[in-house]
Amino acid sequence: MSRSRRVLLLNAALGLGVAWFCWMGAHVPWERPETDGLAPGGPRRGEPGTSDPGGPFGRGDDALQPVAVSWVAVPFLLLLAAGVALRWRWPRAAFVACAVGVGGFFGVTTFFGPVLLALALTVYPMAVTLPVRRWVGLLGLLVPVVLAAHHGEAYLGALDPILYAELVMAVALAVLPALVALLRRSRREALHRDREEDRRRTAYEERLRIAREVHDVVGHSLSVVTMQAGVALHVLDKQRAAGEPVSPEVSASLEAIRRSSRDALAELRTTLGVFRDPAGESRRPTAGLDRLDDLVGALRAAGRRIDVVRTPADPGELPAAVDQAAFRIVQEGLTNVVRHAGEARATVRVVRGSDALVVEVSDDGPGASRLEEGNGIRGMRERAASLGGTVTVDAGAGAGAGGSAGRGLVLRAELPLAAVREAVQA
């Protein structure tokens, strides 16, 4: 049996128990007659001719006698029991049902205070599961519930001080469990906030540690690469000045290495700077498709054959998140071509549609042997998924200029535009 069904059965039993208790309690006359159960002028308790009642419910002449309760009260007691049974499944509806049941019970029988416990049982689930603003207004039903017990009096008992005492008792019985629930909830939320704050602080400190490690390792390596490329270019300039033959391809490659490493180092420092200053949005990297020509130019300078196709020629302004994600996906795709496709020719396509941006990196190198996904492709999928997009990798598509069937790899990313705009506007 599932937990929800067990809870429902237990609450149903509790509701029927409360209804039975109210029904039986309503049959008990809680007040003695003015003459103590005897005719005026008759002997009093302890006088000759009387017998010991044997306790408050004894058989003496002045014993409490049961009273008749109309069967009209039964439907109201069943409604009360249904409210208690369903209090965790539909808290507000259960409270309303219970309030109607209690009010109807008061209207057809004598006032029986313990029946208000049913209201307390239905207030507690509302306070536990719902925000205060969604249920506090329902407590106003307590006023007509108490007034129903005085329906036979003038002005509904407004002139009777007992009415106000009963109203205070009803509010106290209903609000006390709500206050207990709210206190427990506030404490639980405070503990949750403290734990979340500790996790965020720990995660932030760990990110700072990783940022320092990345900066020290990668930053140092890029600085060395930039320095070595600069030294090599200086040597080539000296050789050229001395009239020695110098290959222009070597000079161009070294210049591309120095420029790429310098740009990568600057971007690394900008990116890692965000960890130290999370509020510094102006320092956040803004690499986008406007840098695509520089990226492709650096690879072409190193001897790579890369074609770029834009449809339309000017894709226009893109959402910043989509623009940056598209550039990073193209960058990683070209990195895979350089690392795994040998001297293959690559083609970059950027197609902007009405509701999505499609970027594609294809080549005519070996494809089947490169299907195993590593961290690069996994990172591209995660980047696209964060925007609601997808990344697919197909091998053997004959991609790229001069490609043939069974060769090539096609990396295709679709990034939605409408969803990103709605998220930014929201």
Structure tokens at 379: 């990172």
On the question of pLDDT at 349 being above 90, the answer is: yes
- Mean pLDDT lowest among 38-47, 145-154, 258-267, 411-420: 38-47
User: 305-425: CATH homologous superfamily?
Assistant: Histidine kinase-like ATPase, C-terminal domain (3.30.565.10)
- With beta carbons less than 8 A apart as the criterion, state whether 360 and 330 touch: no
Residues 419, 426: Cα–Cα separation, whole Å:
11
CB atoms near residue 125 (< 10 Å): 23
Residues 74, 58: Cα–Cα separation, whole Å:
28
Side chain identity at 70, as an amino acid letter? S
- With beta carbons less than 8 A apart as the criterion, state whether 204 and 236 touch: no
Rounded to two decimals, what is the model's pTM?
0.45
Q: What percent of the chain has pLDDT over 70?
A: 76
Could you report the per-residue pLDDT of 100-149, keeping only the tens digit for each? 888 888 888 765 667 778 888 888 888 888 887 888 888 888 888 888 87
**What average pLDDT score do residues 154-182 get?**
76
307-313 long-range contacts (CB < 8 A, ≥24 apart) are 307/345, 307/346, 307/347, 307/348, 307/401, 308/347, 308/348, 308/350, 309/347, 309/348, 309/349, 309/350, 310/349, 310/350, 310/351, 311/349, 311/350, 311/351, 311/352, 312/352
3-state helix, strand, coil in the chain (%, to 5): 60, 10, 30
Could you report the per-residue pLDDT of 20-54, keeping only the tens digit for each? 887 777 766 655 544 444 433 444 333 444 444 33
Q: How far is CA 331 from CA 154, 265, 324, in A?
A: 85, 16, 10
